Chain A
């Protein structure tokens, strides 16, 4: 017979379990028809066209999956070095009260919701995307001779102009994959940096002090002692950041749009528009058209994209867990 606090906590603690299981069950049951109606072969094909725009429905989600990968890579590529630098400044290389002030600033920044970054994307469009990636021209005020081309040689024939990214549109937020990646990086930095900071702080002081006592300076201690030992904490931090970047919906809907019709060519052209899975799924479920437009196959494909994201999250959690356990074991041996 257990005492009442344990029983109470067990009873309450099973609520999220029940909710999670019910939710997964519901989603899977809704997504199962997708296996027969568009079929797995079509779902993993690399072309997408929706009923609304072309009249012919081909629900290939591979371009959207590629978009997810691309955006997550950009976001982690920017956020990881910055977060590492922030964590190092906060715990290993103190600079007066700056490290502590930065923890407060990061705590405050972590409260800013994704939708606010999505709304403010227009700042980056005008400040960064147009000057750097559109030569400072806007679409209405563009003269080919200014960039050294003539009317005959413009537009260049080998550029996929129809891919739909207009870095020079100052009003519309529909922009390139790169901008979404940068904004998602800003979204996940305040989440990753404190976690990495904790990972640095959790490294036993004895190890650091032994290294310092043997004559290594702080930088070498960081590189060769603290960083390898903190890796067991950095891996889950990066995994959480990856999941947040992968699952973010609002920024990508505002910045990239929701249709990924084909894998960009060349594949890593980040100036093209490749909407990731959440945006494509939201489109399939009819959030941008009348809800009645959500047809059978489109709807189940939308549910399928949600289930796919769920599986992806599971994979990331499991891989990060295994990696973390392995790193821990290596350290304790």
Chain B
């Protein structure tokens, strides 16, 4: 009985004695750990921060050591997690001291700078230390355990978003500088004059081509994707499964496969002369200054057919979701009131599914605008005009063309490479954000009905 009282007394006394230090130490350790994380990110960006890595780790280790001693003194236990953290921290510091500034050889194809290791170590030690500190700072309760996991979630996200930020900053920086009225309204053209080649440099046909491709593709993909999605959502049986399988596979196959398929059609059409509809439809043609017809390598029409294979699965999936989201009460209600299947489709199902279909269409169009691999083998610089049977081109293809295209394109259009990318990103962002907006807007509109 006395022993029990004594134990109770000691237990009561411990929080009082620990009260002063119980917050100060975790808080200090948390600040130190956060400092390590920040330094780790900095070392990832700039090699020179590598010099501060060992002092930072040593500082954190010192605080952890004091904390360990304090915990041993006030609670009479060796905190196992604290010991592990301390050991990892010391090991990381020792390793960093042992690693030379430049590591090479060892069959590694490069010269690895120490800052790579130090950023990995700083993040690897800092994140768990911060989690642990927050946990104890908030009183080591189950809900504190929840809060303490936030660094584990946020740090990788912050790193990824930082990477996106770096890329987009460069894109805007370089893209805006090439933006001019002249660039937007002039078409790229090379003409053989008696004095030599004369060039006109601009993006007009690339921009118009992108819009033409999006429009044509939507015309082909909307009915096909809508039909496929609706049939899969409304029917069961082997036909439904077949359609679902084909749209899934279309979504799953590499864009490269679509490009190769388009190329094989062009290959096939090369057996036909210019003027033959097979050649004109597939390969396309252009007319030179003397009125002579030349074959091209792939028409807008052909490109749109194969790009639509990219948009069909997106539209089909969105349509399927739209039809599946129609509540059973509403379906049964319309049937109970005597609506025929056609009437129910036109007045009930179609309006309900429409926002989803439009969302799918917009996202599909964005995907089409950005896709190069599909038209990789058949597109050109758009120098011979723009129309259904002209050689296909788009903003996204220009970026490829500048790197691997013919020489004049590489030299002349290089200045617009980032501008084209910026316009492309602007276009696709507009489309996807419009899609998100429509989805959100209509989701709210129909909430009352559910």
Chain A residues close to B by CB (< 8 Å)? 3-6, 8-17, 19-21, 23, 26-27, 30, 81-82, 85-86, 88-89, 93, 95, 102, 104-105, 107-120, 123-124, 127-128, 131-137, 146-149, 156, 158-161, 163, 165, 167-168, 173, 176, 182, 186, 189, 215-219, 240, 243, 246-250, 253-254, 265-266, 269, 271-272, 277-278, 281-282, 285, 287-288, 291, 302-303, 306, 309-310, 313-314, 316-317
From known contacts A218-B146, A271-B110, infer whether A93 and B316 are also in contact, taking CB-CB under 8 Å: no
Q: Which of B1-9, B65-73, B197-205, B239-247 contacts A (4 or more CB under 8 A)?
A: B239-247
- Which of A5, A19, A309 is within 8 Å of B257, CB to CB? A309
- 0/1 string, B234-257, CB within 8 A of A gives 1: 110001001100111111111111
- Interface contacts beyond A116-B171, A119-B417, A159-B108: sample of 5 additional A-B pairs, CB < 8 Å, sorted by A: A17-B243, A26-B261, A104-B433, A160-B109, A186-B160
The answer to whether B157 touches A271, judged by C-beta atoms less than 8 angstroms apart, is: no
Task: For residue A9, give the distance in angstroms from its CB to the closest CB of chain B.
Answer: 4
17 A-B contact pairs sorted by A residue (CB < 8 Å): A5-B341, A12-B228, A13-B228, A14-B227, A16-B225, A20-B246, A88-B153, A111-B363, A111-B370, A113-B428, A132-B115, A135-B102, A135-B113, A146-B102, A163-B109, A246-B254, A254-B403
Assembly CA distance A120 to B421 (angstroms): 9
Report the separation of the CA atoms of residues A134 and B47 in the bound assembly, to the nearest whole angstrom.
11
Complex Cα gap A304–B399 (Å): 27
**Distance between Cα atoms of A215 and B110 in the complex (Å):** 52
Given contacts A13-B224, A135-B111, A136-B113, contact A306 B249 (CB under 8 A): no
Size of interface on B: residues with Cβ below 8 Å to A? 112
Q: How far is the CA of A111 from the CA of B365 in the complex (A)?
A: 10
Bound-state CA distance A282–B372 (Å) is 12
Does B137 lie at the interface of the complex (its beta carbon under 8 Å from any beta carbon of A)? no
Residues of A within 8 A of B219 (CB): none
The 7 closest A-B pairs by CB, nearest first: A12-B227, A113-B370, A247-B254, A111-B432, A3-B341, A135-B111, A278-B256
| Interface segment, one of B77-85, B162-170, B385-393 | B162-170
Chain A interface main SS type: helix
Evaluate contact between A167 and B110: CB separation under 8 angstroms. Answer: yes
Whether the pair B372, A115 counts as a contact (CB closer than 8 A) is yes
- Tell me if B76 is interfacial: C-beta within 8 Å of chain A: no
Selected contact of A303 from candidates B223, B264, B363, CB within 8 Å: B264
Q: When the two chains form their complex, are residues A120 and B171 in contact, meaning their CB atoms are under 8 A apart?
A: yes
Given A13-B230, A108-B429, do A160 and B157 touch, yes or no (CB 8 Å)?
no
Q: Are the C-beta atoms of A313 and B436 separated by less than 8 Å?
A: no
